[in-house]
């Protein structure tokens, strides 16, 4: 039976009749898609030998479709589950003491240093030459690297990138020119600092640095930078790092596949996020994480994001009024951006738009998959409004507004209640770094600012605070999710956290990526205690999360859980004491 592709009309162009024409074309020589399918996907693709297929799992596949094949493929195979990859960006000794971790490194009743545990890093790569990732004899603690950016020798079951095993990395470290043997580098530094905080340890005579799980092994995935045509499609700034959801998903699969060869427990740490999605756990990447979270000997630790003070979320209500308006300040020189809006079941809403120069798009009526494009007279701005009603993953309504070359100044959006029971709706601008920071809502709401995938209910989600003065990090994203699930689960030190940098030396990082790395090291120590030492052999994300939140430090007079701190502040010592 031919595979069937389910509908996701997010990127579809439609005629007035509502008939699907094609997904919006970017005009790139090769376009990338994620497909949701069932059955034998090969039967639906046998007529298209030039299309490159990488199976992600039994539900999703990643395709590279040549432009000349695009129209015939989509029309002949009735594609109803074609989505463009979503783009994700980066989230960033005393801290370990504050979190109750470092005392276990020399604990007289049994050290916990991550021995026998693997920490998986999916990020910008790793500086494998750095001393903090080497043993006393100079050999590496990194067991494998999948560098998605270097073509040559991909891992078994994958069709791009190159894999480098410990033996090759050790050979490179013995060579005067290590990069002639293993050319993988971390040009950004984010992946190196995440790995260093979680598992770094300088074993040289200087002994300058120690991370949370200094004896853990490391598996590393270096993500490909997002394709240029997708960066242009999503209006990403030239200086912003962005990676694709399909590469993250395949990176997760690579880590899971690799760890099954050893049966060791693994902590997967993700310090990346996006605002592109419903913030309710039904995003494609979150669906994959939801399948992994219950697996034994796997723990998922996610950074909550740094969006609380960016002005990228607006909360509106239509419960008592027929309409509601909000304003967005658009910075000069902004090339474009997407505004994403979500209503709550069973509500249906519609919008109108007013530009800073007084140009108006009148109220656009709702039609399933409705598509509306307008060029503002006397302005360079083109506006595209796409209605998805109802979204196949959660049944809610999504509205996408794409403004290309928007006039700088104050844009006004009016939201109308066509059918209202709940009355609430949320709107998000792209995550910090993707657009000019001055492009923001004039009346933002700091709650429900968790970045995706940290709205996944089954993962361990971590916010950040300052361990010096005990204050919250002002940017730490707040919950709850759009459907009311309390996240983050807890907070950990994330302000001015010392970490190794590319090329040697150390620097300070601030952000929930740092707090997620610290929490990942705590999870690694729990795995050693429970799985390796036999105290609790069948631990997974859920059990580790329960242990950590039970022992979290809670302030007097504060109600827990709450959408700022979750269940409190990471304290591994308390967590182990309360098991």
At 174-232, the pLDDT tens digits run: 999 999 999 999 999 999 999 999 999 998 766 678 999 999 999 999 999 999 999 99
Hey, what are 39's tokens?
A: 């059955």
Hey, what are 121's tokens?
A: 């890093």
pLDDT (0 to 100) of residue 3: 32
pLDDT surpassing 50 at residue 361: yes
pLDDT surpassing 50 at residue 425: yes
pLDDT surpassing 80 at residue 562: yes
Contact 223, 194 (CB under 8 A): no
Closest CA to 122 of 303, 294, 287, 264: 303
Q: Given pLDDT bands bounded at 50, 70 and 90, which one contains residue 22? A: very low
Hey, what are 213's tokens?
A: 């799980």
Phi, psi of 221 (to 5 degrees): -115, 120
Helical pair 245-260 and 284-292, crossing angle rounded to 10 deg: 10
pLDDT (0 to 100) of residue 9: 35
pLDDT surpassing 60 at residue 31: yes
Give me the mean pLDDT over the 475-487 stretch.
96
Tens-digit pLDDT profile for residues 56-102: 888 888 988 888 887 776 665 544 467 889 999 977 545 566 776 87
Hey, what are 145's tokens?
A: 């690297």
- Which 8-state DSSP code applies to residue 267? E
Question: CA 282, CA 296: separation in Å to the nearest integer?
Answer: 22
Question: CA 102, CA 577: separation in Å to the nearest integer?
Answer: 15
pLDDT surpassing 90 at residue 41: no
Closest CA to 54 of 157, 161, 200: 157
Helix (H/G/I), strand (E/B), else coil: 511: coil
Closest CA to 573 of 114, 194, 112: 112
Contact 129, 170 (CB under 8 A): no
**Could you give the C-alpha distances from 380 to 361, 371, 492, in angstroms and in order?**
15, 20, 46
Domains of the chain: 4-84 (3.30.70), 90-143+190-308+453-577 (3.40.50.200), 313-441 (2.60.120.1290)
How many helices (DSSP H) and strands (DSSP E) are in the chain?
A: 11, 31
Give me the mean pLDDT over the 503-523 stretch.
94
pLDDT (0 to 100) of residue 93: 46
**How high is the mean pLDDT of the chain?**
90
Tens-digit pLDDT profile for residues 261-277: 888 999 999 999 999 99
Q: Given pLDDT bands bounded at 50, 70 and 90, which one contains residue 107? A: low
Contact 423, 317 (CB under 8 A): yes
pLDDT (0 to 100) of residue 367: 79
- 302 versus 4: the higher-pLDDT residue is 302
Phi, psi of 444 (to 5 degrees): -75, 165
pLDDT (0 to 100) of residue 18: 36
pLDDT (0 to 100) of residue 127: 98
pLDDT (0 to 100) of residue 17: 33
**Could you give the C-alpha distances from 36 to 33, 44, 249, 536, 561, in angstroms and in order?**
10, 12, 13, 37, 36
- 261 versus 154: the higher-pLDDT residue is 154
Give me the mean pLDDT over the 103-115 stretch.
79
- 349 versus 92: the higher-pLDDT residue is 349
Distance of CA 50 to the CA centre of its chain: 30
Tens-digit pLDDT profile for residues 409-418: 999 999 999 9
- 127 versus 391: the higher-pLDDT residue is 127
């Amino acid at each position: 039976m031919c595979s069937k592709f389910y509908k996701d009309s997010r990127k579809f162009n439609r005629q007035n009749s509502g008939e699907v024409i094609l997904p919006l074309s970017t005009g790139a020589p090769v376009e990338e898609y994620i497909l949701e399918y069932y059955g034998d996907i090969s039967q639906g693709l046998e007529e298209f030998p030039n299309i490159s297929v990488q199976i992600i799992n039994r539900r999703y596949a990643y395709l590279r479709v040549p432009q000349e094949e695009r129209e015939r493929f989509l029309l002949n195979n009735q594609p109803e589950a074609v989505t463009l990859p979503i783009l994700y960006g980066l989230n960033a000794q005393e801290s370990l003491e504050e979190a109750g971790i470092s005392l276990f490194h020399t604990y007289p009743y049994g050290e916990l240093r991550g021995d026998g545990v693997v920490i998986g890093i999916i990020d910008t790569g790793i500086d494998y030459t750095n001393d903090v990732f080497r043993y006393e004899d100079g050999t590496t603690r990194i067991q494998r690297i999948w560098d998605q950016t270097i073509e040559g020798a991909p891992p078994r079951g994958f069709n791009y990138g190159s894999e480098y095993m410990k033996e090759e990395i050790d050979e490179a470290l013995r060579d005067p020119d290590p990069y002639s043997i293993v050319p993988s580098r971390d040009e950004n530094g984010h992946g190196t600092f995440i790995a260093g905080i979680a598992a770094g340890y300088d074993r040289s005579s200087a002994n300058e640095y120690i991370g949370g799980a200094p004896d853990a092994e490391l598996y590393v995935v270096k993500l490909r930078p997002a394709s240029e045509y997708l960066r242009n499609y999503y209006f990403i700034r030239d200086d912003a790092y962005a990676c694709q959801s399909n590469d993250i998903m395949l990176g997760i699969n690579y880590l899971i596949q690799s760890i099954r060869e050893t049966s060791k427990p693994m902590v997967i740490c993700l310090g990346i996020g996006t605002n592109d999605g419903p913030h309710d756990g039904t995003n494609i990447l979150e669906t994959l994480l939801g399948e992994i979270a219950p697996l034994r000997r796997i723990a998922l630790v996610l950074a909550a994001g740094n969006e609380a003070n960016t002005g990228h979320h607006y909360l509106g209500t239509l419960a008592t009024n027929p309409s509601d308006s909000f304003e967005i300040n658009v910075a000069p020189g902004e090339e474009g951006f997407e505004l994403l809006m979500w209503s709550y079941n069973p509500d249906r809403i519609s919008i109108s738009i007013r530009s800073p120069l007084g140009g108006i798009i009148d109220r656009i009526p709702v039609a399933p998959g409705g598509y509306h494009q307008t060029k503002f007279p006397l302005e360079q701005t083109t506006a595209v409004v796409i209605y998805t009603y109802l979204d196949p993953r959660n049944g809610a309504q999504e509205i996408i507004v794409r403004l290309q070359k928007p006039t700088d100044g104050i844009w006004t959006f009016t939201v109308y209640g066509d059918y209202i029971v709940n009355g609430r709706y949320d709107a998000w601008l792209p995550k910090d770094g993707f657009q000019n920071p001055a492009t923001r809502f004039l009346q933002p709401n700091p709650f429900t600012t968790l970045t995706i995938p940290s709205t996944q209910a089954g993962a361990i989600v971590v916010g950040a605070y300052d361990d010096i003065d005990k204050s919250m990090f002002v940017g730490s994203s707040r919950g709850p999710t759009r459907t009311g699930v309390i996240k983050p689960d807890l907070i950990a030190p994330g302000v001015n956290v010392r970490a190794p940098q590319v090329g040697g030396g150390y620097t300070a990082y601030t952000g929930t990526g740092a707090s997620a790395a610290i929490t990942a090291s705590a999870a690694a120590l729990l795995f050693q205690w429970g799985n390796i030492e036999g105290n609790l052999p069948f631990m997974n994300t859920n059990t580790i999360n329960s242990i950590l939140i039970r022992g979290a430090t809670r302030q007097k007079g504060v109600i827990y859980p709450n959408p700022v701190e979750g269940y409190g502040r990471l304290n591994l010592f308390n967590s182990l004491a309360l098991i």
